[in-house]
Amino acid sequence: MRDVAIIGIGMTEFGELWEKSFRELVAEAGVRAIMDAGIEGEEIDAMYIGGMSSGMFVGQEHVGPLAVEVAGLEDLHIPATRVEGACASGGIALHQGYISVASGMYDIVVVGGAEKMTDVAGGSATNILASASDREWEAFFGATFPGLYALMATYHMHKYGTTPEQLASVAVKNHYNGSTNPKAQFKRKITVEDVLKSPLVADPLHLLDCSPVSDGAAAAILAPVEVAKKYTDKLVRIKASAMACDTLSLHGRERFDALPAAIHAAKKAYEKAGVGPKDIDLAEVHDCFTIAEIIAIEDLGFVERGRGGPATEEGITSLHGEIPVNTSGGLKSKGHPVGATGIAQLNEIVLQLRGEAGERQVKDAQIGLTHNVGGSGGTAVVNIMEVI
Amino acid sequence: MMGVARFWREIPQRYNLIGTKCSVCGTIYFPPRAICPNCRRKSAGKMEDYKLKGTGTVESFTIIRVPPPEFEGKSPYAIALIKMDEGCHLTGQIVDCNLEDIHIGMKVEACFRRIQEDGKRGAFYYGYKFRKAKE
Ligand SMILES: [Zn+2]
């Protein structure tokens, strides 16, 4: 297997982008990544595009050729594959792109993700997102997507004493970080009181415990390290890329206080990279709900099981804490166009490792991690990146 | 959202809580499974229908306040993760009680109710919900 580097990144602003079409979002992110890499379009060998449900959100499937056409690469007839794993679609695109370069099959590969979620009414978005859960055995009975994470939250609170204030402190931290990110959907700082006063969506989760519905796209360019040296001297290498799956339904799992797929993907990634949780300088984790970040930092081994709530309240994961988590603002504040999220996480880690994160730069960041989850934990992708 | 064919297909499980039992290791599954994850290929073709008693314990719960379109007008309602006495877990609503009285560890029993109605098709979909178990 060859070592793989990221030679370019690009993303759109995230938010309610009513003036931009799905196609324009794909184009904008892709062009930015290509410009950042300094490559010519004709050097691209293949593309992997993550998307959860462009079919239901904008009535457009068959996203591969759409991306090829947008990039003007139809004469080269390059293969472009759309991959789907609900909210982990972007992470899977990265994983597939990594495999294709590492294996020697392709040299220059574009990995991306896009979702345009705000063209449908709120109720339809809820319904489309419910397709990431088990339609026949969860959604049919009235379980919503926030409802499934709420079940995990109730369970975690009962077992470990996690409090609503600790859940809220995740949102407060991520909004603070997002306030420094020009690409973020919400650049407004919030307080614990704001979260607790916002309406309940699924007890104990309030509206401000939930990530928003968003439009956006993100892309990155991968190349073997040897080839990458031709394009950039700020090399960021993918040290490990691991993906794991579990049951589609939450009720089918062996436990409800953790995401076993995320634990498994993290273990594989740490082993492959030859590092442990203590070696990670910063992480972008899948905070689709505040409880999800608390469980994520436990699953990744940053804190002991059950300590996610108090650790967040104590500031361990804040911008200047021991292990900064979601410096970009996370899904919560940066926004969560589901298919784009995994690649947007990669964008943040690469920015940080290059030392280009501006106001929110983590000092001397050498190793960064992304943690991208699909559904209630049916899919998880963990990637570890390092400066070389 | 529920197709008519899918609805009819699942009537036996939804009406009668019929899961499957692995005849190799004896583990009981609900919803029904075609392969036992303990025994894998040894269990192929050896999963038998098994009717659950319908009693279980609340492992976790939430109150849904923002419902999906099919449940418009029905919120707030309670959704729970229930550990059935046979050892398997399922997701279902808890009804016939004050929402404030629902707690982890509460003993519940299945009852058969209307789950959804499809206004366009004029169809009603039935299945299990749960209520506090009689002592
Ligand atoms: Zn078995």
3-state class (DSSP) for residue B4 = helix
Instruction: Supply the pLDDT for residue B119.
Output: 66
Alpha-helical regions (H) of A115-259:
122-130, 145-160, 164-178, 192-197, 225-228
Where residue B14 falls among pLDDT bands split at 50, 70, 90?
Answer: confident
- CA–CA gap between residue A106 and residue A223 (Å, rounded): 8
- CA–CA gap between residue A5 and residue A234 (Å, rounded): 10
The answer to the question of residue B12 being in a domain is no
Portion of chain B with pLDDT greater than 90, in percent: 74
CATH code of the domain made up of A142-210+239-387:
3.40.47.10
Instruction: Supply the pLDDT for residue A300.
Output: 98
Alpha-helical regions (H) of chain B:
4-9, 11-16
The answer to the question of residue B108 being in a domain is yes
The answer to the question of residue B10 being in a domain is no
- CB A2: neighbour CB atoms within 10 A? 14
The answer to the question of residue B107 being in a domain is yes
- The boundaries of the domain holding residue B123 are 53-132
Where residue B99 falls among pLDDT bands split at 50, 70, 90?
Answer: very high
pLDDT (average), residues B44-71:
96
Instruction: Supply the pLDDT for residue B16.
Output: 87
- CA–CA gap between residue A146 and residue B66 (Å, rounded): 9
Pairing label, strands A80-83, A46-50: parallel
Instruction: Supply the pLDDT for residue B7.
Output: 64
- CA–CA gap between residue A100 and residue A49 (Å, rounded): 13
The answer to the question of residue B92 being in a domain is yes
Q: Which residues of chain A have pLDDT under 70?
A: none
The answer to the question of residue B123 being in a domain is yes
CB A9 within 8 A of CB A219: yes
Q: Taking ligand 1, which is a single-atom ion, which protein residues have CB atoms under 5 Å away? A: B 22, 24-25, 36, 38-39, 43
Instruction: Supply the pLDDT for residue B43.
Output: 97
The answer to the question of residue B11 being in a domain is no
Instruction: Supply the pLDDT for residue A192.
Output: 98
Instruction: Supply the pLDDT for residue A122.
Output: 79
CATH 3.40.47.10 fits A4-121+214-236, yes or no: yes
Q: Where in chain A is the domain with CATH 3.40.47.10?
A: 4-121+214-236, 142-210+239-387
Where residue B117 falls among pLDDT bands split at 50, 70, 90?
Answer: confident
- Alpha-carbon gap: A301 to the closest alpha carbon of chain B (Å): 24
Q: What spacing in Å lies between the alpha carbon of B31 and ligand 1's midpoint?
A: 15
- pLDDT of residue B125 exceeding 90, the answer is no
- Alpha-carbon gap: A320 to the closest alpha carbon of chain B (Å): 34
The answer to the question of residue B8 being in a domain is no
Report, in angstroms and rounded to the nearest whole number, the Rg of chain B calculated over CA atoms: 16
Structural domains in chain B (count): 1
Mutation for A interface: B91, B93, B101, B114, most A CBs within 10 A = B91
Residue-wise pLDDT tens digits, A36-62: 999 999 999 999 999 999 999 999 999
Instruction: Supply the pLDDT for residue A121.
Output: 87
Portion of chain B with pLDDT greater than 70, in percent: 90
Where residue B8 falls among pLDDT bands split at 50, 70, 90?
Answer: low
Using CB atoms, pick whichever of A127, A140, A200 lies closest to residue B65: A200
CATH number of the domain within which B125 lies: 2.40.50
Using CB atoms, pick whichever of A141, A202, A204 lies closest to residue B115: A141
Q: What is the ipTM of this complex?
A: 0.95
- CA–CA gap between residue A152 and residue A254 (Å, rounded): 13
